[in-house]
Chains A and B, each alone.
Chain A
């Protein structure tokens, strides 16, 4: 099951600052929503256990988050791979930072889901994923803006 997601977000911080935070594993680890366990392995890797819930379907997933190719302050890539409760997920995401009076972050993600959760179908999964991703970016943006 493949999903393609994309969106954009405006952040009231300079582009370099946004880039530094989005590529800082300690910052990412501290702003992960619904995390049951988080372990920063090194400057590019995080291991975590996340609780994912879609309606009545709840999965506890062990995931590895890895930073990929990046170019300060223009773009970055992030890979997530995990499994749990009979479902597997692989995410390849990319963000681009655009200059202006504020920073505009454009992001896209290709998500591959297999197992039990895939049975929900892409229509429902995409609808929940859009909602969830918005929540995640809202929470990350708030956390970034707090750092000043």
Chain B
């Protein structure tokens, strides 16, 4: 939709309506009934940038899925177990392939819709977000953005239906914040390649059917990316990491690749350009994590408000004590500050998606996604900490509704780029390439 700012508001509104966009404040009455705080987000985005009815329908499905996941996610969390229902429920509501283009079996959700969807699922917890973010942002979108037409046709419809679940194999025991130092190697053999090495702290690692694996050529030293079938001989789960601080409902594993064969048609993008795939996937992923963190803050706010209104101490509701009010005010401010930061990153990503050759837009999207992820994960952790404080002694119990967020959000400050790497990245994008601290 192209509209110049000189066109009259009436013409713009007519154009929006013609293209199926809903502007809720002006057009009503498309009745949206969703979880209260999320509904506000949807209405806000709809009234500002417009949402099509099919986009609202994705968000209504996300709302229902989140509602349905609550009980199993909580039960699995307190018993520290992976939650297989996450995938089942997302398949049921046709959300697993939300950002995949319609021509490949998905629902074609643009980035702002994907962000809103993750925001709602984030209210349930980051365990849900981790599975979805990895499968969609790091897996499916990497194939959609970099794959050949054959790869897209082969993998994306199955990724949308849930027949395929993606993991993302970049991190290694000795290559975390410096992924370019990875040691996993590949060599050419016959009609394909053999990959050897190990991948560490891999979300969805032991439950994925396919993994985007990054490896270094044993000949040239260049890094390439591959779509690896996890049932291939030589692929094995070495350890399921269960001794985590949180994120119990999400799978985290260490993977061993012992001369795993990959047919040549499953190299993703061109040889030697693996890091371009890795970094662009992380750009998507960071907006995803930031979006999920919005949901966490929303749930922290909701839970803290409820506790403050119901818990009576010193003869009055604790919400009438000013120091409790300070926590509520800070959580609300954290949320509001991050909301538009994440949406702005999402909209910039959309702009870049429409002009993929524009390197300036790519840098802007990269910068905003890093800022959004850094701020949202930091403030989600702060919000969970404050919500726990409002809950007092019961907040420290794993059974409180906010302890889960406290334990889970800590990892959001580490995975897909630590706080420190995000800050270095933001600073270097501000100062210029010569100032890249990690070079």
Contacts and interface: CB of A to CB of B under 8 A. Distances in A.
Interface of A: 1, 55-57, 116, 118-124, 127-128, 131
A119 B77 CA distance: 16
Given A128-B71, A131-B71, A56 B400 contact: no
19 contacts: A55-B74, A55-B77, A57-B399, A116-B394, A118-B310, A119-B307, A119-B391, A119-B399, A120-B400, A120-B401, A121-B306, A121-B307, A122-B306, A124-B71, A124-B74, A124-B401, A127-B70, A127-B71, A128-B71
A113 to B, nearest CB: 10
B23 to A, nearest CB: 30
Contacts of A122: 306
Q: What class of interface size applies to chain B in its complex with A?
A: 20 to 34
B39 interface: no
A119 B303 CA distance: 10
B310 A124 contact: no
Contacts of B401: 120-121, 123-124
B310 to A, nearest CB: 6
A116 B74 CA distance: 17
A119 B70 contact: no
Contacts of B78: 55-56
Contacts of B306: 1, 121-122
B75 interface: yes
Nearest to A126: B70
B26 to A, nearest CB: 32
Contacts of A56: 78-79, 399
A122 B299 CA distance: 11
B110 interface: no
Given A121-B303, A123-B302, A1 B310 contact: yes
Interface string B297-336: 0010011001100100000000000000000000000000
A128 B78 CA distance: 14
B67 interface: yes
A118 to B, nearest CB: 7
A119 B70 CA distance: 16
Contacts of B70: 123-124, 127
Given A121-B306, A123-B299, 17 more contacts: A1-B310, A55-B78, A55-B79, A56-B79, A57-B399, A118-B310, A119-B394, A119-B400, A120-B400, A121-B303, A121-B400, A122-B306, A124-B71, A127-B71, A127-B74, A128-B71, A131-B71
A55 B397 CA distance: 13
Contacts of A57: 399
Nearest to A125: B401
Interface in B72-92: 74-75, 77-79
Interface in B273-305: 299, 302-303
Secondary structure call for the B interface: helix
Most buried by A among B302, B307, B394, B399: B399
A120 B74 CA distance: 10
A55 B71 CA distance: 8
A121 B400 CA distance: 8
Contacts of B307: 119, 121
Nearest to A114: B310
Given A1-B310, A127-B74, A55 B67 contact: no
A123 B303 contact: yes
Contacts of A118: 310
A127 B400 CA distance: 15
A66 to B, nearest CB: 26
Contacts of A119: 307, 391, 394, 397, 399-400
A127 B66 CA distance: 11
Contacts of B74: 55, 124, 127-128
Most buried by B among A118, A119, A128: A119
A55 B81 CA distance: 12
A122 B430 CA distance: 45
In the A-B complex, the 7 residue pairs with the closest CB atoms:
A127-B70, A121-B401, A119-B394, A127-B71, A55-B78, A55-B75, A56-B78
Nearest to A132: B71
A122 to B, nearest CB: 6
A124 B74 CA distance: 8
Contacts of A131: 71
Contacts of A128: 71, 74
Nearest to B123: A123
A118 B401 CA distance: 11
Nearest to A121: B401
Nearest to B402: A121
Contacts of B75: 55
A128 B74 CA distance: 10
Contacts of A120: 399-401
Interface in B387-407: 391, 394, 397, 399-401
A128 B68 CA distance: 10
Most buried by A among B67, B77, B299, B401: B401
A1 B78 CA distance: 22
B408 to A, nearest CB: 15
B306 to A, nearest CB: 6
